[in-house]
Amino acid sequence: MSTTPATTETLPSGGGSFLQTLRSILVGTDQDFTEGNLTRAILLLAIPMVLEMAMESLFALVNMLWVSRLGAAAIASVGLTESLMAIVYTVAIGFAMAGTAMVARRIGEKDAKAASVAAAQVMWLAVGAGALMGLFGGLFAPDLLRLMGASHEVVATGSGFARILLGAQAIVILLFVLNGAFRGTGDAAMAMRTLWIANAVNLVLDPCLIFGLGPFPKLGVTGTAVATTVGRGVGVLVQLYVLFSGKRRIHLQRHALVPNLEVIARLVRMSLGGMGQYLISTASWVVMVRIISRFGDAAVAGYTVAMRVVFVALLPAWGMSNAAATLVGQNLGAGKPQRAEQSVFRAAAYNMAFMGVVTVVLVFGTRLVLAPFGADAAVVPIAVAALRTLAYGFVFYGLGMVVVQSFNGAGDTFTPTIINVVTFWIIQIPLAWALSSWTGLGPQGVFWSVAIAYSSQAVIGLLAFRRGTWKTRTV
């Protein structure tokens, strides 16, 4: 089996071609991603996906910018609630992963009707799971905060915030799943624009509801949960309108909405692998926050602020990895495994180069990057130390995310699950506890464990990818 990337392809030259490509990135394209210029295919998919992920992360980033003005207790309540929401994202990403893989495979096979059926069935799964989880989260939000080690002040400040976010899980899961279906068709531009709209609503409502501007009530940290939920709800309504209108590659007609037990069963099997995979990583995040909480609210707040910046810095890695997953799924469906493999190596090379630049910026400009958050004096040194340490692993992050996500695009959710078990539970968590407890490093030991774990994930993932068993996976 060859693992050599394809020879370099260049985009068409000329101003007209550039403007045409730019328009395709922003508006969408009907291009067949199983044919033609591979670099252009990566560009058309990756850039909208980066911007899509930017919009999702901007929810958290904008919220933190406003909440940081409310003090350490408010910041800590957001951080602890987001660590709980990570479990919700696990389910959302698991369903979205299965939907993307199945839709992409059907599109590669040139079967648009079957792709629509897959999208409809995964939508029903999202509604059912979101409703059940939301009921539990909304009822027991304060207890869940206490379980996470929140102080009395944090519980009193953040219970309303947690109730709303944890209660609206169906909206979150639907937003992920429907955008996953768009990505599977190669319509990354539509997924991007959905989150633009959702985030615009959040941007307007956030300061109004937090500080009581104009006719809006002053809700404090609870206001940011209301703004985020309303914004995401608007995004879901836009998604549903597009899907039922028939204006894009997927058209949800009556036949597609009829429950299909065979398709649902296949989606559940893939989703369980994806959920297990992300549950391992997100549950480890919960444990890491719990370890950090032993060093006080300032440590939790500093770690939370740093991770917000990290999530934004890693957006190109996520966008490129999702682009690679779509290309893998569609090209395997078209019977072109070699092109699928070339897509992964090309995307990984671009990603590593970009993340190297980001590393330099964050290591030498840490305080400048953190300045907009306006955190108090006890939080800033911890946030600076966390961000600099985590940045040292960015080049590896870029490689690992592309390679691991490519398994998911092929419908192989089992291999990344094993990789995550080794990376997060065998390497990261024990190392975080040992370095923070037994070496005198304190929170800094936790930061080093994250950088080491993600670097290990890249190496393990590449070795597994080179085996090539993902090429024969059926979806």
C-alpha closest to that of 31 among 245, 246, 323? 323
Output DSSP code: residue 413: -
Structure tokens given for 81: 């609630």
Least confident window among 12-26, 334-348, 360-374: 12-26
Least confident window among 6-20, 132-146, 287-301: 6-20
What is the C-alpha R_g of the chain? Answer: 21
- Geometric angle at alpha carbon 70, from 66 and 74, rounded to 5°: 95
What's 202-255 look like in SS3? HHHHHHHHHHCCCCCCCCCHHHHHHHHHHHHHHHHHHHHHHHHHCCCCCCCCHH
Average pLDDT over residues 124-150: 87
- Helix (H), strand (E) at residue 320: helix 315-333
Structure tokens given for 38: 């591979």
C-alpha closest to that of 291 among 93, 153, 424, 142? 424
- Geometric angle at alpha carbon 355, from 173 and 93, rounded to 5°: 15
End-to-end CA distance of the chain: 22
pLDDT band at 376 (very low <50, low <70, confident <90, very high): low
With contact defined as beta carbons under 8 Å apart, do 390 and 451 qualify? yes
Give the chain's count of helices (H) and strands (E): 20, 0
* Count: domains in the chain: 1
Q: Which residue has the higher pLDDT, 310 or 99?
A: 99
With contact defined as beta carbons under 8 Å apart, do 162 and 141 qualify? yes
Alpha-carbon distances of 136 from 140, 163, 280, rounded to whole Å: 6, 10, 21
pLDDT at 3 (0 to 100): 39
Q: Which residue has the higher pLDDT, 55 or 403?
A: 403
pLDDT at 59 (0 to 100): 64
With contact defined as beta carbons under 8 Å apart, do 170 and 130 qualify? yes
Q: For the chain, how long is the longest CA-to-CA vector? A: 65
Domain annotation covers residue 238: yes
Domain annotation covers residue 68: yes
What is the percent of the chain where pLDDT is above 90? Answer: 29
**Residue 294, SS3?**
coil
Query: Using CA atoms, how far apart are residues 455 and 465, in angstroms rounded to an integer?
Result: 16
Q: Tell me, what amino acid is at 441?
A: L
Output DSSP code: residue 424: I
C-alpha closest to that of 85 among 289, 270, 221, 382? 289
Output DSSP code: residue 70: G
pLDDT at 235 (0 to 100): 94
Average pLDDT over residues 127-142: 89
pLDDT at 150 over 90: no
Domain annotation covers residue 5: no
pLDDT at 82 over 90: no
Average pLDDT over residues 146-152: 80
Q: pTM for the whole thing?
A: 0.77
The phi and psi torsions of 284 (rounded to 5 degrees) equal -65, -35
Query: Using CA atoms, how far apart are residues 470 and 462, in angstroms rounded to an integer?
Result: 12
Q: Tell me, what amino acid is at 270?
A: M
pLDDT at 22 (0 to 100): 66
With contact defined as beta carbons under 8 Å apart, do 324 and 344 qualify? yes
pLDDT at 63 (0 to 100): 72
Domain that holds residue 198: 32-472
Query: Using CA atoms, how far apart are residues 405 and 262, in angstroms rounded to an integer?
Result: 25
pLDDT at 275 (0 to 100): 85
With contact defined as beta carbons under 8 Å apart, do 159 and 145 qualify? yes
pLDDT at 7 over 60: no
Chain Cα centroid distance, residue 412: 18
For residue 64, count CB atoms less than 10 angstroms from its CB and return exposed for 0-12, middle for 13-18, buried for 19 or more. buried
Alpha-carbon distances of 415 from 91, 403, 407, 470, rounded to whole Å: 18, 11, 7, 9
Domain annotation covers residue 43: yes
Domain annotation covers residue 162: yes
pLDDT band at 116 (very low <50, low <70, confident <90, very high): very high
pLDDT band at 80 (very low <50, low <70, confident <90, very high): confident
Average pLDDT over residues 69-90: 80
With contact defined as beta carbons under 8 Å apart, do 107 and 116 qualify? no
Q: Which residue has the higher pLDDT, 257 or 58?
A: 257
Average pLDDT over residues 272-296: 83
Structure tokens given for 231: 């914004």
Least confident window among 53-62, 218-227, 273-282, 417-426: 53-62
Query: Using CA atoms, how far apart are residues 18 and 35, in angstroms rounded to an integer?
Result: 19
- 424-451 pLDDT, tens per residue? 999 999 999 999 888 888 888 999 999 9
* Average pLDDT over the chain, rounded to an integer: 84
pLDDT at 14 (0 to 100): 44
pLDDT at 282 over 90: no
Q: State the alpha helices, DSSP H only, in 411-474.
A: 414-420, 429-438, 443-465
Average pLDDT over residues 323-342: 91
